[in-house]
Amino acid sequence: MTNIIEASSMNKKVVLGKGHEIHILKDVNLEIEEGEFVSVMGPSGSGKTTLLYNISGMDRITAGSVKFNGREIDHLKEEELAKIRLKSMGFIFQDINLLKNLSLIDNVMFPALVSKDADKNAVHQKAKKLMKMTGIEKLANHNITQASGGQLQRVGICRALINDPDIIFGDEPTGALDSKSTEEIMSILAEINNNGTTVMLVTHDVKVAAKTERILFMVDGKIIAQKKMRKFDARQEDNKQREEELMKWLVDNGF
């Protein structure tokens, strides 16, 4: 198997003022295989968001190395990094950050229209297809005030997919959603993953993590444990059992 992410001895320190620095990531090693569906759990402040930002090139480690698709990215110039993020990575967040002056479909199309030679018609067709896949095609011409939180997160997912990324990173993407919308978003992410896109999520929610195939657990800037599960297949397996299995592991490990 090929690793899409290979991070070794990642360290992240932030200088807060004279003589005061905090050490957020501490010698973190992490490999993610192409096509994997991984989640990161851990207490608030343990460094989950920082980990995600630093392996995706949204932020820079202060020591160590991060490889994406075999290429070391931690020393790249910002514009090179931006190109990689735009073309090969998709991001979904708890705060979806859609542009309020654009229709929902225009928000989805936005990252594909950044390059000048984009075929606007083809991008429009693709945005429509993604909105259909996520069940929001009827909302294409609505604006952000005319959709629910769950629907807006689907717009966020479509926007993350518009450039056919190799990987989707999600920082608590279901954190603001009710349980029904959470289920729906997780089904969509599972489908995207089954189509070959790697997915890495940060989450507090055992129900969410239980749907992923490997759960990393962070404490105080380190990945201290991981649990391997299987790929979730709703036809083969009941998610309740997976949740119980994960809960038991968390409790047995004192998390």
Ligand X SMILES: Nc1ncnc2c1ncn2[C@@H]1O[C@H](COP(=O)(O)OP(=O)(O)O)[C@@H](O)[C@H]1O
Smallest gap from Cβ 222 to ligand X, in A, equals 12
Binding of residue 45 to ligand X (CB under 6 A): yes
Each residue 26-55 as x (binds Mg ion by CB under 5 A) or -, in order, gives ----------------------xx------
234 contact choice in ligand X, Mg ion, none (CB below 5 to 8 Å, kind-dependent) = none
Non-local (6+) Cβ contacts of 104 within 8 A are 98, 131, 136, 139, 140, 141, 142, 143, 144, 147, 155
1 contact choice in ligand X, Mg ion, none (CB below 5 to 8 Å, kind-dependent) = none
Residue 237 token pair: 């397996």
Binding of residue 15 to ligand X (CB under 6 A): no
Smallest gap from Cβ 53 to ligand X, in A, equals 8
Binding of residue 19 to ligand X (CB under 6 A): no
Nearest-angstrom CA–CA distance, 52 and 55: 5
Half-sphere exposure of 153 (CA within 13 A, CB side): 25
**Distance linking the first and last C-alpha atoms of the chain:** 31
Among 2, 17, 18, 44, binds ligand X (CB under 6 A): 44
Among 7, 41, 49, 192, binds ligand X (CB under 6 A): 49
Which one, 125 or 253, has the nearer CB to ligand X? 253
When computed from its CA atoms, the radius of gyration of the chain, rounded to whole angstroms, is 18
What is the widest separation between alpha-carbon atoms in the chain?
Answer: 57
Nearest-angstrom CA–CA distance, 159 and 207: 25
Task: Mark the segment that binds ligand X (CB under 6 A) among 27-35, 39-47, 139-147, 157-165.
Answer: 39-47
Which one, 78 or 233, has the nearer CB to ligand X? 78
Nearest to 209 by CA among 173, 167, 168: 173
Nearest to 211 by CA among 189, 178, 195: 189
Q: Which residues bind ligand X (CB under 6 A)?
A: 14, 16, 22, 24, 42, 44-50
